[in-house]
Amino acid sequence: MSSENRIAITGLGLVGPWGTGLEGLWDAQTNGTAGFTPCSRYDNSLPAAEAQKLDLRRMLKSGQLSRAPLVSQYAVAATHLAVTQADMLPERGTKNGGVGIVFGTSNGPGAATQQIYDDLIDTGPTGVKPRVFQESVFNAPASLVSIHFGFAGPIQVVPAAGCSGTAVLFQAQMMLAQPEIEAVIALCSDEMCDAIQKGLRDLKWHADYDGLGGLTDGAVAGEGAVAMILERATHAEARGARVLAELAGVGLANDAAALGRPAKDGRGLVAAIETALEDAQTQAGQVDIILTGSAATKIEDQLESTAITTVFGEASPVQGSSKRSTGFAMGTAALVEIALAVAAINRNATPASVPGETANIDTILCNAIGLNGQFGATLIKGVAA
């Protein structure tokens, strides 16, 4: 990315199993021995990474928002934290057309839709709750964020399993190219859904307990939201904002080798990584850490390992993933890793979920692997001195 098009990250808001905020995510990192229990909201034995309960009445001074579906509650809370950190929290009742929103999700309104079906079966059409019905569309969380904060700029919604975060950042780059847009809220949110979780089990994607208190190979579904404030670096500098890091490069690719069975040579992820490196005008040797995209399934682990070796050779950078500590947050997963990258760069420290130590951390590659052959790669860099 050319110097005049540099994109600054000036705010980060996070909601997840660790609670809220970047400090909580950093502290939640382990070497992969985290314990997971079934989700408390429905009855099945599958391990899950359930987001901690929010107190929106205290955070946002709004009882109405606390009655919205969790996917929307997570989105609003993460946005509040991000715009507060970026010093962009608007006065109540004002409108700002210079701030756009790009929203990504995987499950979207899956839990709300399931509740509608249950109500129809149990009590008929009169049992469907109006508030739940209005939330049963994918753009509902983004619309609620726009209404609550008064951000009247354009809204774009990107539903994509696993790669939503990367796709959101790709679209945010293009939105920021519009001269009337001052900033973009790159936002992902997902709420776990019983039906979807059971479906993933049938696909043998999900980890299960081995009867001895441990987990078998496989993914653990998670949930939560990440909001990232993106601005043109020149705009951020002009208003005196603190720049946390730079969004240096983004790459997206699809592998259509076979439905649900990506090519074992990792060609889709290779293409995404090479595109991100080119976008960032960065050589592979300049990458200090790789935060991996695999959800912890054997197929994805092997595919990603092959792709990394193809791009970086046998002497690849140290690599690891927060997903073994905090679960796989579906559409939000990529932004979780990117937030962790920002924390690592600012601390100049290696997360506990990444084996080994790296000195002078400046450039981190964050991979994303979605269902049906979706791949993403994002390069995050420290602020140039």
Q: What token pair was written down for 204?
A: 């043998």
pLDDT at 385: 45
pLDDT at 4: 64
Per-residue three-class SS string for the chain? CCHHHCEEEEEEEEEECCEECHHHHHHCCCCCCCCCEECCCCCCCCEEECCCCCCHHHHHCCCCHHHCCHHHHHHHHHHHHHHHHCCCCCCCCCCECCEEEEEEECCCCHHHHHHHHHHHHHHCHHHCCHHHHHCCCCCHHHHHHHHHHCECCCEEEEECCCCHHHHHHHHHHHHHCCCCCCEEEEEEEECCCHHHHHHHHHCCCECCECCCCCECCCECEECEEEEEEEEEHHHHHHCCCCCCEEEEEEEEEECCCCCCCCCCCCHHHHHHHHHHHHHCCCCHHHCCEEECCCCCCHHHHHHHHHHHHHHHCCCCCEEECCHHHHCECHHHHHHHHHHHHHHHHHHCCCCCCCCCCCCCCCEEEEEEECCCCEEEEEEEECCCC
pLDDT at 69: 87
* Strand pairing report for 224-232 and 183-190: antiparallel
Q: Do 228 and 378 form a contact (C-beta atoms < 8 A)? A: no
The pTM for the full model equals: 0.92
Q: What are the average pLDDT values for consecutive 10-residue runs of the chain, which has 385 residues?
A: 77 96 94 80 86 90 81 95 93 82 88 74 77 71 92 89 88 94 95 85 76 70 96 93 96 78 89 96 96 89 95 93 91 95 96 88 95 90 79
Q: What token pair was written down for 227?
A: 């909001």
pLDDT at 108: 79
pLDDT at 8: 97
pLDDT at 223: 95
Q: Do 46 and 267 form a contact (C-beta atoms < 8 A)? A: no
| Number of Cβ within a 10 Å radius of residue 175 | 19
Q: Which residues of 350-368 are buried (b: 16+ CB within 10 A; e: fewer)?
A: bbbbbeeebeebbbbbbbb
pLDDT at 94: 75
| Number of Cβ within a 10 Å radius of residue 155 | 18
Phi then psi for residue 164, to 5 deg, are -55, -40
Q: Do 47 and 36 form a contact (C-beta atoms < 8 A)? A: yes
Cα 294 to Cα 296: distance, rounded to the nearest angstrom: 5
Cα 14 to Cα 52: distance, rounded to the nearest angstrom: 11
| Number of Cβ within a 10 Å radius of residue 35 | 9
Q: What token pair was written down for 343?
A: 């924390």
